[in-house]
Amino acid sequence: METLVPAFVAVLLAQVFDPPARLAAVLADRFGRGAGVTAGLVLAHAAGFLAAAAGGALIAPGMSPNAQALLLALALMFAGAGGLARTKLADRLTNWRIGSFATAFLGIFILAFGDRSQFLALALAAWSGSPLLAAIGSTIAAVAVGAIAATVGERAWCRWPGRRAAGLGVSGLLVVVGAVLAVRALRLG
């Protein structure tokens, strides 16, 4: 639980304003809110977060505990800083004619590969020593956000009241928590 909950919370906060959730909403509007988009979303996030957690497990043995904490701090700060920028979908995948499942799986996997949420999962896996729990918590959070976005559709997802203010608040929170962790990891305070 020491890894599952932090992974869930960090990725949940980062995913709300990330393009994969918006792409899930776009695809749900295009294909309908059927099982294909949801199944593709689940599999894409599970595969991506398992890969990120495996990467964290690979690098963890070569890092000191302070270096692991500093990696997590940097991941949190980068996730927060990335949330300050407005993101748009580069491609709505309108030319993809491979069905709802394959479009959702490949589109979300490609879009999310190496994004800030996966960097958080990698850092949490390295820091905690529990890569499977980091992957599970991250996947549950990303799927929850994506499923909500797919349920409400793109228009409602992108225009909910207070979205910009909430994004700034979440980004600020991630940066502050990362900065506090960095100070502790560097033993400055």
Q: pLDDT tens digit string along 49-94? A: 999 999 999 999 999 999 999 999 999 999 999 888 776 766 767 7
Residue 99 has pLDDT above 90, yes or no: no
Q: Answer for the pair 22, 163: CB distance below 8 angstroms, yes or no.
A: no
**What is the pLDDT at residue 46?**
97
Q: Which of 100, 94, 128 is nearest to 36 (CA)?
A: 100
Give SS3 for 74.
helix
**Rounded Cα–Cα distance for residues 127 and 119 (Å):** 12
Lowest mean pLDDT among 7-11, 76-80, 95-99, 143-147: 95-99
**What is the pLDDT at residue 84?**
81
Q: Which of 146, 124, 142 is nearest to 46 (CA)?
A: 142
**Rounded Cα–Cα distance for residues 122 and 126 (Å):** 6
pLDDT-derived band at 97, boundaries 50, 70, 90: confident
**What is the pLDDT at residue 52?**
97
Residue 189 has pLDDT above 70, yes or no: no
Which has more pLDDT, 128 or 85? 128
**What is the pLDDT at residue 7?**
94
- pTM, to two decimals: 0.91
**What is the pLDDT at residue 90?**
63
**What is the pLDDT at residue 140?**
97
Q: Answer for the pair 107, 26: CB distance below 8 angstroms, yes or no.
A: no
The rounded percent of the chain whose pLDDT value lies above 90 is: 66
Q: Which residue matches tokens 């559709």?
A: 153
Output the CA–CA distances (angstroms, integers) from residue 180 to 169, 176, 183, in the order listed.
16, 6, 5
Residue 33 has pLDDT above 90, yes or no: no
